[in-house]
A and B are shown apart, each in its own frame.
Chain A
Amino acid sequence: MTDSEIMTVSRRLLAPYVIPSECPYLSEDQQALSRKDLEGRSAWMAEWLLLADCVPRRAAWKKPESF
């Protein structure tokens, strides 16, 4: 592969694109993510991080304190 080919294809993936529906590797979340632009992907990631952070907090809240 030439550098130019790799850079072209990399640049294309940084723009919104559609993952084929029969793709065996990816979930619907990933299909939705690929349709977003860079700003949208960045915001998506931020929301996921926030959600991930909520999980241990909720788990900790539910856990009874030891007496």
Chain B
Amino acid sequence: MKNPYIELHNEFRKAGADVLLSSGQACVVFGIAAFSKDGDWIVRETEGSCAAVLDVLKQHGAQYRLGVPLHPDWLRLGLTSHFEFLADSGFRMRTDFCSRPPRIPDLERMWNRAMRIENIDVVDVESLVQLKQTRRLRDYSIIGALAEVAGLEGNTPELALTYLQDYELLSRAVKRWPIESAACGRHAVQLLLKNAARSEVVSALAIEQDERMQEDQRRIDQMQSLAANYVREFTTLRAEWRKTKTPLLEQHRQLLILAKGIMGAKS
């Protein structure tokens, strides 16, 4: 059975878009997540890549969901573009795009380290861990799992020491890599080195996780405050699109005007 998101990825590549599979589908590709209902891609911040993606989506009869126009001017603000369409097999495909995923410190490095194997282009494991530090609690199980299989099992101490999420495995990692642990700035690791009580280490892990979740929430709140009027106007526009069956490229044109009018010219 063909995975429609992987097939769509290949269509993007054939159309000339530089894209990387990320988030949920990337977790499936890495064998960590059993399921992901939507597809997230990182797209190269160029007009060419954006246009190629739009062209493929147009052929599928895709519609814009709430988000910014798929254009470098908007993606470079860290905002995201969202689409949906019905696949030939009948189920609803949801596709999300960004060019500057949150918490990735060096974008060019991320592109250089991307895995391009067997028709799959996917972010590297460390970038995946970083972009999974979201406001959702369930993502921290994914981070812990990646840190276990890629860090502890894969013999990559920094990955294990920085991202393991539970007491048992982190204490195992600290015992195994005392020199790397001493150089690690993570509070829970330093507590383990000092033989602190288990409750202290567990508290440090929980506080760290909560801080990450709050950071992500603040990021989202900031974006939402920037786009409050945009959301209202988008909803009106989408109702009109549905009524008139507006094709994707026309939706895109109208959305560019809306975004520029409400959030200002970005260049």
Segment touching A, from B30-38, B76-84, B226-234, B238-246: B30-38
A interface residue numbers (CB < 8 A to B): 1, 3, 5-7, 9-14, 16-17, 19-20, 23-27, 29-30, 33-36, 38-39, 41-50, 52-53
Partner of B142, one of A16, A25, A36: A25
Cross-chain contact of A14 among B115, B141, B142, B148 (Cβ < 8 A): B115
Given contacts A27-B34, A33-B28, list 4 more A-B pairs with CB under 8 A: A6-B113, A49-B3, A50-B1, A52-B35
Question: Given A29-B34, A43-B3, A10–B145 Cβ distance below 8 Å?
Answer: no
CA separation between A43 and B6, bound complex, in Å?
10
A53 to B125, CA, bound (A): 29
* Cα distance, A35 to B31, chains bound together (Å): 8
Report if B136 contacts A (CB, 8 A). Answer: no
Complexed CA–CA distance, A35 and B29 (Å): 12
Contacts of A6 in B (CB 8 A): 113, 124-126, 156, 159
A sample of 26 inter-chain contacts (CB < 8 A) reads A1-B126, A6-B113, A13-B30, A13-B31, A14-B30, A17-B31, A19-B148, A19-B149, A23-B148, A23-B149, A25-B166, A26-B145, A30-B33, A33-B32, A33-B33, A38-B29, A38-B118, A41-B29, A44-B34, A45-B36, A46-B4, A49-B3, A50-B89, A50-B91, A52-B91, A53-B90
CA distance A30 to B210 in the complex (A): 25
CA distance A43 to B1 in the complex (A): 5
